Amino acid sequence: MSWTLLIGLVVVLGVALFLTLVRRVELRALRENLEARRLAVRTGAARPQLMHPVIDHSRCMGCGSCVEACPEDDVLALVHGQAVVVHGARCEGISACERECPVGAITVTLADADTRRDVPALDEKGEAVGAPGIFLAGEVTARALVRVAVEQGTAAAAAAARRADETPGLLDLVIVGAGPAGLSCALEAQRLGLRFIVLESEDRIGGTVARYPRNKLILTRPLELPLYGRITREELPKEELMAIWEEIAARYDLPLHLGEPLESIERTSGGDLIVWSPAGSYQTRSVCLAVGRRGTPRRLGVPGEELPKVTYGLQDAREVQGRSVLIVGGGDSAVEAALALAPHNRVTLSYRREAFFRLRGRNQERIDRALAQGALTFLAESVVRAIHPERVELAVAGRGEVSLPNDLVLVLIGGTPPTDLLQAAGVSCDPALRPALRPTEEQGNGLVRALAAALALSLLALGWVLAHYDYYSLPLARRPAHPLHDSLRPGQGFGLAMGISACVLIAINLLYLARRSPRSRLRLGSLRAWMSSHVTTGILAVLCALLHASMAPRDTLGGHAFWALAALLFTGAVGRYFYAWVPRAANGRELELEEVRARLGELTHEGGDGFGERVQEEVEALVARRRWQGSFLGRVRALLAGERDLWRTLARLRAEGGEDAARVQTATRLARQAYRAATQAGHAEELRAVLASWRWLHRWVAVLMVVLLTLHVIYALAYGAPEALL
């Protein structure tokens, strides 16, 4: 007894210590993710640029598959056990998160799709709405990925092939642009035997990629090129990708018209298209516009911008040595140029915001390291006022007017989309013409479908049992005399088949864990399909095991394995509801807190006496001081002391607010609301942590079931009498 007590005490204390440490790590990660989200909202990094993920928290069960699948750093994170968007501006539209989500809780869609007028209206085939025969591919469609551009270009050529005819002198397709989308379209057109040409305004192929700086890594993902085959590398330097394009163009003798820009597109009375360029006109059945999205570079609009030292791109940093360089911009292109020039030049980076907000994770780390080492100068919240031959003038927040010696100005603030070119060709950017995207509102937690599937399978099993009721209703001792006993008993015929089926279904069910693990190489099928399979095989395994036991599981190894399997099904079903409901409540409070913080931020601009800033600082300090406590007693103390601190804080704010009663009332109301929302989010998080133990119960029941089932199978094979075990 004493040994049992000692060992039990050691086990209990060890488990308690382990769970406490795990909880502390979890809370630390939660605080970091919340702070990152808050900073992203303040700097604008949370606001998406083009494509971005939308999460349905009524479905999300917090498995983290989307976070693991996203190739960009910190776009997504887990908060309160559910995925949230942190840096929406970093999303590249790869949609790996959407493909990996097992419950369909995340959708990658166009930001502000209902209002923005810089994205063309296309149908599902990539054809411009209201402009038959004009297809778009690549960056101009607001999808910036090389892989997506290749897929769109290939699809455009296939669509053009369906419109082709044998009219003499009529081209099947004119491709405008020789970037990844245009070249892929040309390769597919070549493969399909189409009559086509490729117009390119530059004197070389590559499109936007050709204008990238030297050695810039291009995120390609494995992709399949028509005729050429598969490119398996996930990243390629610009030079290697350009070499591949040039090799392809030469190998397949593509009809390239370099240095020949598109001027206009007209439509004939018969529905054909006439493409005009400086070299003449081309009549065609279809046109693929793969012209990129940047269009013309954006300009600063300041005096001196016409000077020769002002440029809008950097292709080879080796050509710039020992010069004073001002780089204007805060995106990836500006940061990459600054990092490339910094080792051999005096570089100043000017950005109109207080911090970078849409950098890729690797660029953010590199620029942070360079600034910490003093490799370059960063002027946040600065605006160029004038450019002179030997200097530039800037307005810098907190410093006023600043004059810097300067030899070169790089303006990297993006470009103006080719909207005018598209409209002249008949392509509309009217949001009303854009096909409706998949709805992103909450779609429920899947409970109805799960219940429907479970009911259908159960009714099927019930039908079988009722059809053989005369056997299954007999006591166990009288069953051997029944004529169907040899077919329905566990060790033979249908009963044995049900037992084998249950084992196979359990094995398939457990493969879901391997598919979900980011370290696993098992990638067959989507995780969503595996999740559906996990639910379906779990229900089927219970029903098959019940029929294997002839509807009478006994107090044996097999019977215990069956009840463990049934308990596993129950804990999984109940846990699925908890995983969505409780974290959803916590994240709802976080959204409420963000809204209150935004209103407090608006209050800081009123009055001009610093009162709003003091209110915001007081509230943030109060929330941070009392929000997360590591123990039960700590949470009790935080609850009681927090109410006391809240009362004192509100009293002090009233005393400092002066005679503006309305402003004081607003400030105290927002302070109280912020504290309440933060406290409720904290309580919901603690409840989520308690309910997370249900997930551990589910896993340990699974382990117990596997052990019992393994022993049952071994015993049955050894003694050849599985019916004796049920």
- DSSP secondary structure code for residue 228 in this structure: T
Does position 66 have pLDDT exceeding 60, yes or no? yes
Task: Give every CB contact of residue 306 below 8 A, 6+ residues apart in sequence.
Answer: none
Q: Which of 10-19, 125-134, 464-473, 709-718 has the lowest mean pLDDT?
A: 10-19
Evaluate whether 102 touches 65 at the Cβ level (below 8 Å).
yes
Give percent of the chain with pLDDT exceeding 70. 82
How many whole angstroms separate alpha carbon 303 and alpha carbon 563? Answer: 81
pLDDT on residue 6:
80
Q: For residue range 285-308, what is the model confidence (pLDDT) as tens digits?
A: 999 998 877 666 788 889 999 898
Residue 725 confidence class, pLDDT cut points 50, 70, 90? very low
Question: Interior CA angle at 331 toward 330 and 334, to 5°?
Answer: 75
pLDDT on residue 405:
93
How many whole angstroms separate alpha carbon 509 and alpha carbon 5? Answer: 38
How many whole angstroms separate alpha carbon 679 and alpha carbon 674? Answer: 9
Per-residue tokens: 710? 């393994």
Mean pLDDT of the chain: 80
Alpha-carbon distances, residue 378 vs 89, 371, 374, 382, 389 (angstroms) = 21, 7, 10, 9, 22
pLDDT on residue 440:
41
- DSSP secondary structure code for residue 356 in this structure: -
Per-residue tokens: 18? 């382990």
Give percent of the chain with pLDDT exceeding 90. 16
In terms of pLDDT, which residue wins out, 714 or 64? 714
Classify 134-295 by CATH class. alpha beta
Does position 603 have pLDDT exceeding 70, yes or no? no
Give one DSSP letter per residue of 357-392, joined into a string.
-S--HHHHHHHHHHHHTTSSEEETTEEEEEE-SSEE
Average pLDDT over residues 179-192: 91
Does position 579 have pLDDT exceeding 70, yes or no? no
Contacts by residues 36-41 (CB-CB < 8 Å, ≥ 24 positions apart): 36/74, 36/77, 36/86, 36/87, 37/77, 37/79, 37/84, 37/86, 38/594, 38/597, 39/355, 40/86, 40/87, 40/88, 40/89, 40/357, 41/594, 41/598
In terms of pLDDT, which residue wins out, 598 or 160? 160
Burial pattern 511-531, b for ≥16 Cβ within 10 A else e, equals: bbeebbeeeeeeeeeebbebb
pLDDT on residue 355:
82
Q: Which element (helix H / strand E) includes 277? A: strand 273-277
How many whole angstroms separate alpha carbon 115 and alpha carbon 430? Answer: 9
Per-residue tokens: 297? 């570079």
Per-residue tokens: 337? 């140029």
pLDDT on residue 325:
93
Does position 662 have pLDDT exceeding 90, yes or no? no
Does position 203 have pLDDT exceeding 90, yes or no? no
How many whole angstroms separate alpha carbon 207 and alpha carbon 541? Answer: 55
How many whole angstroms separate alpha carbon 566 and alpha carbon 230? Answer: 47
Burial pattern 321-357, b for ≥16 Cβ within 10 A else e, equals: eeebbbbbbbbbbbbbbbbbbbeebbbbbbbeeebbb
- DSSP secondary structure code for residue 295 in this structure: -
Which of the following CATH numbers is that of domain 298-416: 2.60.40.10, 3.50.50.60, 1.20.1250.20, 3.40.50.720?
Answer: 3.50.50.60
Spell out the alpha helix ranges (H) of 203-254: 238-251
Q: Which of 258-267, 423-432, 450-459 has the lowest mean pLDDT?
A: 450-459
pLDDT on residue 510:
84
Can you give the length of the chain in residues? 726
Give one DSSP letter per residue of 631-695, joined into a string.
SHHHHHHHHHHHHHHHHHHHHHHHHHSTT-HHHHHHHHHHHHHHHHHHHHHHHHHHHHHHHHHHH
Residue 441 confidence class, pLDDT cut points 50, 70, 90? very low
pLDDT on residue 491:
82
Task: Give every CB contact of residue 578 below 8 A, 6+ residues apart in sequence.
Answer: 691, 694
How many whole angstroms separate alpha carbon 473 and alpha carbon 360? Answer: 66
How many whole angstroms separate alpha carbon 138 and alpha carbon 715? Answer: 62
For tokens 């040994």, what's the residue? Answer: 3
Does position 439 have pLDDT exceeding 60, yes or no? no
Closest among 540, 545, 534 to 576, alpha carbons compared: 534
Per-residue tokens: 725? 């075990």
Task: Give every CB contact of residue 80 below 8 A, 6+ residues apart in sequence.
Answer: 30, 583, 586, 587, 590, 681, 684, 685, 688
Average pLDDT over residues 397-407: 90
For tokens 């309440």, what's the residue? Answer: 676
Evaluate whether 412 touches 334 at the Cβ level (below 8 Å).
yes
How many whole angstroms separate alpha carbon 384 and alpha carbon 326? Answer: 10
3-state helix, strand, coil in the chain (%, to 5): 50, 15, 35
Average pLDDT over residues 191-208: 87
Does position 446 have pLDDT exceeding 70, yes or no? no
Does position 621 have pLDDT exceeding 80, yes or no? no
Handedness of CA 202, 207, 208, 212 (dihedral sign): negative
Residue 714 confidence class, pLDDT cut points 50, 70, 90? confident
Task: Give every CB contact of residue 518 below 8 A, 6+ residues apart in sequence.
Answer: 65, 68, 69
Helix pair 611-626, 557-603: axis angle to 10 deg? 160
Q: For residue range 486-533, what is the model confidence (pLDDT) as tens digits?
A: 888 888 888 889 988 999 988 888 888 777 766 666 667 666 677 777
Closest among 420, 162, 173 to 273, alpha carbons compared: 173
Q: Which element (helix H / strand E) includes 506? A: helix 493-516
In terms of pLDDT, which residue wins out, 256 or 99? 256
How many whole angstroms separate alpha carbon 101 and alpha carbon 105? Answer: 7
Chain region(s) in the chain for CATH 3.50.50.60:
134-295, 298-416
Does position 237 have pLDDT exceeding 80, yes or no? no
